Structure 1
């Protein structure tokens, strides 16, 4: 095994310090603690509760806020960006697949929570935003954002002892900040540019023992990703780098968890240090990682006047005693690794962890006694992305898709669909969706030949993309709902099947998870969900009348998590 930037002496030091401090009270746990697409985590603690936010790009609602009291069980409690009116028009002006809300920072000060972020991909350049609330358990309580002007990503928010507020962005550029007006001191001051890796970004500033520490990500967010650190006696510098940088990375190793980087540090109620960062379960071959960049937990030691030492990320970890396990966390959202079992009716709310690809068109999604109703969009899941002449087919005017994160390596997802198409091309189905250019679908579609089952996969690697497949609906099937299934029975393959009633499921196709790993979605992760489309028929944003499906009996059953290439941990619900 090659360790490159982490030598054996440093590893021994890490292990010795953590073991000495915790002794027999060490806790063991499995990573990722926030499985599924949860990139660029930032966290803070208030009393006995930890709060984290992660990146969401163009998915909506954006910037999920998770809360936990034990660092293992994380409840989704709100989204900082939950109303299109908070940023009118920006979602529909975003044409790329990985623009939108980049890496955020969450902080707490004087009874108020702040989430600072930057929105990319709209005319006029980057929009800096700060959302505020005194009640992070309520979507409605999050403010409209204070905007600020910037041309860099990944903002940090730091209060000094004198009450002055600072923002550090990619570069690493530092500016004093007015939280009320969004004004930034000029010009930006470059305080450190990392150790030579590309894209120094994701800065977080900490003040300890008279030192200002700036911890950053560098090396790009793929397999060269790393965390490095420097410190100074004055916030403006000069900053001296740590001689043993990087302080956290898995680059150059054969570890299952790769792309380790972009993290944040915080303490528990006993003063022990912890961190969350992103990682990808891909192994060094970096081919199959449909859940994208997930959030992993690591213990750290930070002695007075010394540099922090971070424990290397693995699937099974041992470190400080964890807080007592509990799910006694307020809020009405699910815990992140829970199963789904939804029967929709007219009084149902859309589950809090369901997301759309951009802000949806008004009226496209509703719950009725027949189920979750999705009004078809003219563009299918691919459409004509990036089109300037057919914007209504690009996905920018609302994609009729809704989904939840894939949060387990092995799972079974199924939904019943009741569908009576009236025009050729009307279609309803389920999908493993990474972006409009990378997704795997199985659905019911009306063709000239009649109602059929259609499998389609779209990928940026043509060698991995299977041919479409059309199967007539069996003659003995009735007008009852059809159950559509997506199974992940190993870490590299999805199996797509259909059934009705008590009839034996029919496997329609299999597809490689490489189709939804990286490609046009290297920053994001797979969503599992339902869609409806008329495949370009109609005009403007309107499909022909009819063909509106309802989805019912929505099930996501976790089976197992892989924590190493050949080691799986059964899901608790299995």
Structure 2
């Protein structure tokens, strides 16, 4: 979670949280113990693009670590404090401890410097020093609609810290979710960090979400936004317009060298021996057991592993959904031997929320295609459509997403007309908001390729390409 990058003593420093257990309590509500495991680590590099050192363990007292490098040469680790005890505030405040940048060793007393405001859920701390003041920037309100950036300051690093007199520095709470034209606005804004340009301007980067125009679901997950800030004559930070609300568009301080992200991407596995950077896979840093670009040249081979809902070994390679309207397609060569083997095209949020168009085998041994969905909002947690028999050979699979609707299609080989399945599926369930109680809710939606073999034989599927095309919002 929440990596923090800083520069001191001629090196880059990155601290981050490795979450081992989250989203579970002994009983519902604050009356039960909430036992969770967060381990914080530190790595360094001479260059921002690495190579990075091996991780050094720091602590496990909470999450969202950050480093503050004071002008007296000392450096400090700050993080939120987690209180697991029954009846206590889970988010117990911000703690600080000195760190030796030569070894990563923590020393001295761990101090609680800020307990937070009435918004609660105090996390994501960053400290900045300006004109003799220590400014503490934190996230509060949780990652949903009440998310906010809150600032407090003190003449002493250890406090006490006085909260900004205007309230949150930035929040979307109480703002309209769409413009008059129906365009989604930035919501769920919080967890900010500051950067100063060479020209002396101050900008804040922060997390946000864009809900669907006709609902509250953020299928694109948590995104990153930027906004210009101004230090006032009273020494407090404010948005440039003074409104403390997010702006959907901002004017950058100068020309950029960045070209617009293309509206379509075609990954042809015949022209590469490494997986394109746009793709990700689940959990393991050792993907050789999940996929290969070498076994069958010209194809991405996925080895059938555990179920599409597994929390462990899944053969799933996917890229993020980055637009409300898009199409994706792939060509797969897969011959299942029995019903426990499947492969296909999946729209995936997590193990409890997905729509999966897959090829498998019926009891008669013939190939068939059908949709498996996990739908947390319905009484029945899953949907399995009636199978459609298909002939042998490579099959092209396609998905079309239009805001909150989703449809699948297929065709034999990679040419000819698409055959659309009749099912119109709810794409809004692939969102942070459509979450079962107690489950994490901030990953965002992916679309990609998957393969299962529940018999344990590792029966593979070969994918020739993957195409992703975005469309303008209508």
**TM norm structure 1:** 0.70
CA distance in 2, matches of 1:445, 1:280: 36
Counterpart residue number, 1:544: 457
Work out whether residues 170 and 246 of structure 2, in 8 Å CA contact, stay in contact via their aligned partners in 1.
no
CA apart distance, 1:358: 0.6
Is 1:231 paired with 2:153?
Answer: yes
CA apart distance, 1:455: 0.3
Work out whether residues 209 and 305 of structure 1, in 8 Å CA contact, stay in contact via their aligned partners in 2.
no
CA distance in 1, matches of 2:262, 2:271: 26
Work out whether residues 438 and 521 of structure 1, in 8 Å CA contact, stay in contact via their aligned partners in 2.
no
Q: Which residue, out of 417, 439, 443, partners 1:524?
A: 443
Q: 1:238 to 1:284 in 2, by over 3 A?
A: farther
Q: Deviations over 1:436-487 (max 9, x none)?
A: 111111111112142111101113222596731133234xx552x2111111
SS at match of 1:188: strand
SS at match of 1:317: coil
CA distance in 2, matches of 1:316, 1:124: 36
Counterpart residue number, 2:290: 364
SS at match of 2:429: helix
Q: Which residue, out of 389, 396, 415, partners 1:473?
A: 389
Counterpart residue number, 1:454: 370
Counterpart residue number, 1:375: 303
Q: Let me know the Cα RMSD of the aligned residues.
A: 2.4
CA apart distance, 1:173: 1.0
Q: 1:551 to 1:521 in 2, by over 3 A?
A: farther
Q: Deviations over 1:497-552 (max 9, x none)?
A: 11233332122233212221121441211111111002x22xxxxx226x311111
**TM norm structure 2:** 0.84
Counterpart residue number, 1:340: 265
CA apart distance, 1:249: 0.4
Is 1:322 paired with 2:253?
Answer: yes
Work out whether residues 337 and 407 of structure 1, in 8 Å CA contact, stay in contact via their aligned partners in 2.
no
242-251 or 520-529, which deviates more:
520-529
CA apart distance, 1:340: 2.2
Counterpart residue number, 1:177: 99
Counterpart residue number, 1:165: 75
CA apart distance, 1:362: 3.5
Is 1:118 paired with 2:17?
Answer: yes
Q: Which residue, out of 263, 268, 274, partners 1:349?
A: 274
Work out whether residues 346 and 367 of structure 1, in 8 Å CA contact, stay in contact via their aligned partners in 2.
no
Q: 1:442 to 1:284 in 2, by over 3 A?
A: closer
CA apart distance, 1:315: 6.1
Q: Which residue, out of 411, 436, 440, partners 1:499?
A: 411
Counterpart residue number, 1:294: 223
Counterpart residue number, 1:199: 121
CA apart distance, 1:372: 0.3
Q: Deviations over 1:269-306 (max 9, x none)?
A: 21111111111112798642111111111111124652
Work out whether residues 349 and 367 of structure 1, in 8 Å CA contact, stay in contact via their aligned partners in 2.
yes
Work out whether residues 212 and 219 of structure 2, in 8 Å CA contact, stay in contact via their aligned partners in 1.
no
Counterpart residue number, 2:54: 144
Work out whether residues 435 and 521 of structure 1, in 8 Å CA contact, stay in contact via their aligned partners in 2.
no
Residues paired across the two proteins, number: 428
Q: 1:367 to 1:296 in 2, by over 3 A?
A: same
Alignment of 1:254-293 (within 5 A): 254-255=176-177, 256-282=185-211, 287-293=216-222
Q: 1:327 to 1:112 in 2, by over 3 A?
A: same
Structure 1, unmatched stretches of 5+, are 1-101, 329-334, 384-394, 538-542, 562-567, 569-574
Counterpart residue number, 2:326: 411
Q: Which residue, out of 135, 140, 162, partners 1:218?
A: 140
CA distance in 2, matches of 1:189, 1:253: 37
SS at match of 1:370: coil
